[in-house]
Amino acid sequence: MIIYIIIARNNIKRVSAVILLIIGFISWILHLYYNIPPGAAIPELISIFILIPYYIDIVLRSLKKSP
């Protein structure tokens, strides 16, 4: 995600990536702070859902560059 923030040319994509990165980080902090029992996958699911649009964007970019 940090690399995506660096390589993104569109400022809207950069800002949204930063905001979503912060949300993911906060979800992990809350998970660890409230000592939720092991196996609770909420922060992991949040992280996955946050990254899906960026994975799709990177794949579409690479397909456009392919001959």
Residue whose structure tokens are 């000592």: 35
**CA–CA distance, 33 with 3 (Å, rounded to integer):** 28
**What pTM did the predictor assign?**
0.72
Give dist(CA 38, CA 35) in Å, integer: 8
Which sequence spans correspond to the domains of the chain?
A: 2-65
Q: Angle CA(49)–CA(54)–CA(37) in degrees, nearest 5?
A: 25
Residue 11, token pair as written in the block: 């400022």
| Percent residues over pLDDT 90 in the chain | 9
What's the token pair of residue 5?
A: 């923030």
Q: How many CB atoms lie within 10 A of CB 50?
A: 18
What per-residue confidence (pLDDT) applies to 64?
86
Write out pLDDT tens, residues 26-55. Answer: 988 888 888 777 766 788 888 889 889 888
